[in-house]
Structure 1
């Protein structure tokens, strides 16, 4: 099943604006007979010593062992920082990695009472819809909000904070370091362009797309590509996700087309070539229509490295 995400047009039209959240956890860890805090069973002394942990307004006194993730990106992050064994349940769109404990919980219309049945000691969300944060707070369930990233620094920050909250700060730091290194190398190795190549990034077959002001758009800008959608939303009134027309795209004549709707909508190079008038577009004529994995293209977690690699590979092919 395709994984929707805040970057998708349907969510852009319906998602509520996330509100500021202030969470304070009450209660203290139990003291041992010698007056020291009892370590959790199965934790190494180093892991136990890292708590309590405070991230923003959220404080966890002990390492969470029953985490519920209602964000496909957060699920990927948790498993990537070696916290997968602590994850009890994930939402119905968290399809990666394969061992993630998928349930019928919804990340789009979350229900605090349904979440509470899993007895979580930490819930990770990508937005506050349906009043879920207030509902979980009333139930004394701690919440970490991992909003959709705007920049790569947001990705790195969320990985770091999740590492701290789950007792895996070193694994998170190693992952961030590896991602930075790989991305820096990919960008450095990208071919130098005498003139910038233009591109169109398709979210769905009705021609919703992204501008350079979005997270995805910023990745393309790192490689030096020009976005044909930028003139359609110069003031950001569409939130960086304008809907273009077929005629405008044909006139824009992008050098590259990236399809982020291959799984959801069965789009590919052949279906694009069959669209009326599209056979004249440079990207179609040159065979430079790139079919992306929708999930990788719509999430801001560890696999963003794979997306940047696909972009660089496409540029390499276009100039070779």
Structure 2
């Protein structure tokens, strides 16, 4: 009958086994940590009035051909994923602006930037979506927001589509709360004030049926362009000088200061406009053209400007 080997005789063997086990653990690769936001993918998103799009993974090379979308992308924290924006995307300053056009969509020029996601405000008959899809590139359509709620929804959607869902939801919430507070802190004049919002010196304007018109409506302002049907001309009619003079609006807002050099002085110099109460009483308000034409997070700046005008008229 053999006797068991003494424990001290087994120690060298056990030590070698331990080294082998440790080496095996060291050589075994640990699962890679997912990149921030990757856990939320694949995800399907759809803006109101647009087709749904499914994103299998977080996009890392985004081309934005919509100035409003560009601002929102940076606001939700996806700026580092943006590799190119269109020639009208003027904000924020660090956005990689190019000569791409959001109006004349050129698939070949877009693909030159090697995107994995392209964001546009419109895609007629899904022509761009089809062309880019052949190259494996997804297209996200974010139509013009017709209401503040639609804008809030797009903020959250952009966050979800780019792997920043929490940031997108927070941006929507903060924007809504900021606007609600500004409106609540601004006394509504009684009777309501009338206003004219100018898009260019040929008297194109907006009605209360538009996104911009809804902002004015928050303060109970009455739009002189509404007439019998605020939806006529898609909410963007061209008025005559005679109609504006006849309406004699209490407030005049100029959204053609950057594009067309309009200001209180140029307005007062128009034939007959020096008789308007808004001109005589200093209630002509220049706006930043871009802020006054986009459904971006900077809509809060527009709400501030309108609130200041309403307070000034009531003082």
TM norm structure 1: 0.85
CA distance in 2, matches of 1:151, 1:205: 26
For 1:20-51, what per-residue CA distance to the aligned partner results, in whole angstroms no more than 9, with x for missing partners? xxxxxxxxxxxxx99x8x665xx23xx22111
2:213 aligns with one of 217, 227, 233: 217
CA distance in 2, matches of 1:258, 1:118: 39
CA distance in 1, matches of 2:130, 2:41: 25
Structure number with larger C-alpha Rg: 2
2:177 aligns with one of 173, 181, 199: 181
For 1:72-108, what per-residue CA distance to the aligned partner results, in whole angstroms no more than 9, with x for missing partners? 0000000000000000100011110010000111111
Answer whether contact 2:207 2:230 (CA < 8 A) is retained: no
Answer whether contact 1:199 1:227 (CA < 8 A) is retained: yes
Answer whether contact 2:155 2:172 (CA < 8 A) is retained: yes
**Is 1:270 the equivalent of 2:265?**
yes
1:205 aligns with one of 195, 201, 204: 201
**Is 1:171 the equivalent of 2:167?**
yes
**Is 1:82 the equivalent of 2:63?**
no
Q: Structure 1 runs of 4+ off > 3 angstroms?
A: none
CA distance in 1, matches of 2:89, 2:230: 33
Which is bigger in relative contact order (C-alpha 8 A, separation at least 6)? 1
Structure 1 counterpart of 2:42 = 52
Answer whether contact 1:109 1:129 (CA < 8 A) is retained: no
Contiguous gaps of at least 5 residues in structure 1: 1-32
Structure 2 counterpart of 1:29 = none
Structure 2 counterpart of 1:315 = 310
**SS of the residue aligned with 1:294?**
coil
CA distance in 2, matches of 1:159, 1:111: 26
* Superposition RMSD in Å: 1.6
Answer whether contact 1:108 1:129 (CA < 8 A) is retained: no
Higher relative helix content: 2
**SS of the residue aligned with 2:97?**
coil
Contiguous gaps of at least 5 residues in structure 2: 1-27, 47-51
**SS of the residue aligned with 1:264?**
helix
**SS of the residue aligned with 1:54?**
strand
Q: CA, structure 1 residues 135+39, in 2 after alignment: closer, same or farther (shift >3 Å)?
A: farther
Structure 1 counterpart of 2:249 = 254
The 5 Å alignment of 1:13-92 reads 43-44=35-36, 47-56=37-46, 57-92=52-87
Structure 2 counterpart of 1:4 = none
**SS of the residue aligned with 1:238?**
helix
Question: How far off its partner does 1:235 sit?
Answer: 6.2
Structure 2 counterpart of 1:114 = 109
**SS of the residue aligned with 1:192?**
coil
Question: How far off its partner does 1:59 sit?
Answer: 1.3
Answer whether contact 1:163 1:169 (CA < 8 A) is retained: yes
The 5 Å alignment of 1:120-159 reads 120-129=115-124, 131-159=127-155
For 1:163-185, what per-residue CA distance to the aligned partner results, in whole angstroms no more than 9, with x for missing partners? 01100011111111111110000
For 1:235-280, what per-residue CA distance to the aligned partner results, in whole angstroms no more than 9, with x for missing partners? 6231111100011100000000000000000000000000000011
CA distance in 2, matches of 1:206, 1:139: 43
Answer whether contact 1:110 1:129 (CA < 8 A) is retained: no
CA distance in 2, matches of 1:181, 1:308: 12
**SS of the residue aligned with 1:239?**
helix
